[in-house]
Chain A
Amino acid sequence: MSRIETCFSALKNNNKKALIPFITAGDPSLDMTVGLMHVLTKAGADIIELGVPFSDPMADGPVIQRASERALLNGTNTDDVFNIVKEFRTENESTPIILMGYMNPIEVMGYETFVEKAANAGVDGLIIVDLPPEESVEFGEVLKPYGIDQIFLISPTTHGKRLDRICEVASGFLYYVSLKGVTGSNQLDVKAVDDKLNEIRSKTSLPLGVGFGIKNPQIAEDVGRVSDAVVVGSALVERIAEHAGDGEKMKLEISSFMSSLRTALDNIG
């Protein structure tokens, strides 16, 4: 069983929801990312989504755009991201790590090289925001032998045959984008999310995560009630940015925010 499968099956057995924080690799600095990842797991993260910085993050709102800009200013590159994962793995063998980013850094490195490096570093899944299933056939073939899951997104505008197709090719879990918009948006509607998740559930038995717009424990709890996992990105990245000058304070802040999300999710069920 892959780390992702193991993680979701353990959560299911304990009747718990997955908490998936997102941070950008290299933000606020390359040195701090691994430490922050450990803070996240200690405060209750089940899976970590690690952003691969990109110069043109089209699907991201201002908070994550700026994180990407900061990381790039720090000189963070794709090999640094792999090194971060490698270093994290020396102390943590179990928490699944998903890289989230855009296609171009992968195109430039070459599919085979990128995937091999990712697998060697201990990456479990990839979310490539601008690689829909229609364009990912060739990449998917490269991915298969390495046992890395390509996590597909489903959005409120995904219907009919496309939804069927995504459910067919997906592995690991499915990531439902809770709203029409960019990361960090403001208009999440839990009822609408619930309806869509029910539709998706009729087509797949994969766990369903929800992200975009989950900014506080209350929303996390509400969304957790109807899903298997919640992804929290902008709300965390905002706190990282706010305390960028004071590493210790940042860790405390992140830890306490994560704990509040954890507690909220554990209130369910």
Chain B
Amino acid sequence: MPETNKKSDSSEIESYMTMPDKRGHFGPYGGRFVSETLMGPLEELEQAYKKHIKDPAFIAEFEHDLKHYVGRPSPLYHAERWSEQLGGAQIYLKREDLNHTGAHKINNTVGQALLAKLMGKRRVIAETGAGQHGVATATVAARYGMECVVYMGAEDIQRQAMNVFRMKLLGATVVSVEAGSKTLKDALNEAMRDWVTNVDDTFYIIGTVAGPHPYPAMVRDFNSVVGREARQQCLDQAGRLPDALVACVGGGSNAIGLFHSFLDDKDVSIYGVEAAGEGIETGHHAAPLNAGKPGVLHGNRTYLMEDEYGQIIETHSISAGLDYPGVGPEHAWLKDTGRANYVSVTDIEALQAFHDLTRIEGIIPALESSHALAYTTKIAPKMAKDAIIITNLSGRGDKDIHTVAAHEGITL
């Protein structure tokens, strides 16, 4: 494979915002590793995307729906009590949990559904792990009058019964995927199989910054509204840029959404937080950037959790949305270049942060976001009191109440 893992000297890179290259590569990562049948449709999608993303009418409609339907801009909230208790940096939370449907995922599904409409596709499909992307897709499908099928691992369907019902209420068909590990990766495989079969009338709305080109770039672009807003809000509220950004990384869409606008602000430290599950050393985790190797899965080259023969291994995280063996290729590249730091926190640490934020700020965070919050509690105390951290509160925690209760031996 092409050279990976080489730490290039960051000073050589003038801008981190020019990726991917023409063929969808972020350095050695990304690309388009799919079966032949999808190559044509992906080219067609890329052309349509390139055309419409420059079209003022498309942008206006996208921004209109983000404002009036999603409820943007989302606040940048200064968590004063929490900052005070941690005794260090001032923590600002980017409140993606306040978006319609309760997470950042809707930014991307609005964008892709509008694109699907312009491309004349009447049917949309999606994969989902925690169910947030499935709900966000079912929501826009209802909004734009499209047929919607969501693929979800049988295991995840068990864990996220409420989101499954939400999707059904919204008119979507939820297909239980029984193959493999019955989680997000298998749902993605199954959605790809659907797409390859129904490619003429179907648009595949991928929910994260992974998959074949142009998905990693397109999903990033639709989510980068998060960082654009946060950057301006921070300048407005604090009079300067933050010192650090923190976001959880499963596939990495909320993280890249926050990070992207800051990539060339080189004084801003960037932390992506992976799920260490029961601990990296136990092997029961979902932290490919911390403990995986580069490989090819789901249409792109990136860091993966795999065995010595390249079979994808099962991941573990208390948070279904982080339970994925790969990661977006741009994160792989940001790791290798050293521009971003990828760290991890365990299930236990995330649960502690879940409770802390709930009790101290009156905000119930998603378990995914709780990973970013947990890492924030590690770095904030070591920073000066006038330092600023922006942590992406990527989703709200209502969907996780049952998981948390079960973990604590409580039956609801």
Contact = CB atoms under 8 A, between A and B. Distances in A.
Interface in A34-77: 54-59, 61-62, 65, 69, 72, 77
Given A55-B312, A56-B185, A135 B1 contact: no
A101 B158 CA distance: 32
Interface stretch (B34-42, B48-56, B74-82, B88-96): B34-42
A224 B88 CA distance: 74
Contacts of B298: 56, 58
A111 interface: yes
A153 to B, nearest CB: 4
B138 interface: no
6 contacts: A104-B297, A104-B304, A108-B309, A135-B32, A154-B36, A156-B37
Interface in A139-168: 152-159, 162
Interface of A (DSSP majority class): loop
B380 interface: no
Contact of A182 (B186, B193, B200): B193
Interface residues of A, number: 45
B294 interface: yes
B309 A77 contact: yes
Interface string B357-387: 0000000000000000000000000000000
B35 A159 contact: no
Interface stretch (A4-12, A83-91, A126-134, A227-235): A126-134
Interface string B190-204: 001100111110000
- For chain B, which range describes its interface: under 10, 10 to 19, 20 to 34, or 35 or more residues? 35 or more
Given A135-B32, A157-B199, A177-B36, A58 B180 contact: no
Contact of B296 (A72, A111, A130): A130
Interface string A102-113: 111111111100
Contact of B189 (A56, A105, A129, A185): A56
A159 to B, nearest CB: 6
B73 interface: no
B337 to A, nearest CB: 21
B309 A157 contact: no
Given A109-B309, A177-B37, 15 more contacts: A55-B312, A56-B180, A56-B189, A56-B297, A57-B189, A58-B193, A104-B296, A109-B310, A134-B39, A138-B1, A138-B2, A152-B36, A155-B35, A180-B196, A180-B197
Interface of B: 1-2, 23, 31-41, 43, 179-180, 185-186, 189, 192-193, 196-200, 293-299, 301, 304, 306, 308-313
A181 interface: yes
Nearest to A182: B193
A109 B294 CA distance: 11
A78 interface: yes
Given A56-B180, A58-B189, A135-B32, A182 B196 contact: yes
B32 to A, nearest CB: 6
Contact of B1 (A56, A105, A107): A107
Contact of B197 (A77, A162, A181): A181
Contacts of A152: 36
A130 B200 contact: no
A105 B295 CA distance: 8
Given A56-B185, A111-B1, A153 B36 contact: yes
Contacts of A106: 310
A162 B39 contact: yes
B306 A104 contact: yes
A106 B33 CA distance: 13
B309 A58 contact: no
A108 B185 CA distance: 19
Contacts of B309: 77-79, 105, 108-109
